[in-house]
Amino acid sequence: MTETLGFRLVQDPAVSDAQFWHLRAQHPDNPDVGKVLAAVNLHTYIGGFAKFYGAEHQIMAAAKFRRLYDMAQVGGSKACDMEREPVDGGGFNPDAVFEIGADARREFVLMQQHLGRKMFQRFEFVVVGGKGPTAYVRWITGIAKPNAKLVSRGKVEVRRIANNLAEYWGMASKSPIDRVA
């Protein structure tokens, strides 16, 4: 499990919004203002892609994919506690659950169209399904015990899908490997 433990800069919970904006005004060129280094379980963050050892922009793309998948409520709406006391006194609004994910669903559909059905399903299998390289190659090829060469090719394929998404979302420029193809 240590292989999926990574360190990421996350928003510092001890810094209030006012402190954050004050620090941001003092250091406008520093994108890491108000963030702290924290240990993150990459498997819960990016699913099976943690075992593909992607570059930083690929990890960011996988994380955004996973976040969009959850926010878009793919596979049904998320759990709602009907017994919870409403804060505003307005009662439970069943439409609110649907409205929350509307923007995410729009962006999710555009991302699906960009990737295409086949590549989307493959990336979903890894990131949402939590499958590693060997399971991915088994699923694609149907071979029960794929050799190291096939597993290596599978890793490259999934990393290319992540590169494609990173370029689509402006997280990275076009890879030199993809320019040749």
Comparing 55 with 86, which gets the higher pLDDT?
Answer: 55
What does the block give as tokens for 53? 């050892």
What does the block give as tokens for 144? 């029960």
Helix segments in 36-101, DSSP class H: 42-46, 56-71, 94-100
Distances in whole angstroms, Cα of residue 67 to Cα of each of 62, 80, 86, 91, 101:
9, 19, 26, 28, 11
pLDDT tens readout for residues 51-76: 888 888 898 899 999 988 888 877 65
Please, what is the average pLDDT of the chain?
82
Give the closest residue to 158 by CA, choosing from 44, 43, 61, 67.
61
Give the span between the Cα atoms of 114 and 107, in whole angstroms: 11
Residue 5 in this model has a pLDDT that exceeds 80: no
What does the block give as tokens for 124? 């979903």
pLDDT tens readout for residues 87-107: 555 555 556 656 667 888 888
pLDDT tens readout for residues 111-153: 999 999 999 999 999 999 999 999 999 999 999 999 999 999 9
Helix segments in 27-147, DSSP class H: 42-46, 56-71, 94-100, 102-115, 117-127, 133-141
Predicted TM-score (pTM) of the model is 0.71
pLDDT tens readout for residues 10-28: 778 888 888 888 988 999 8
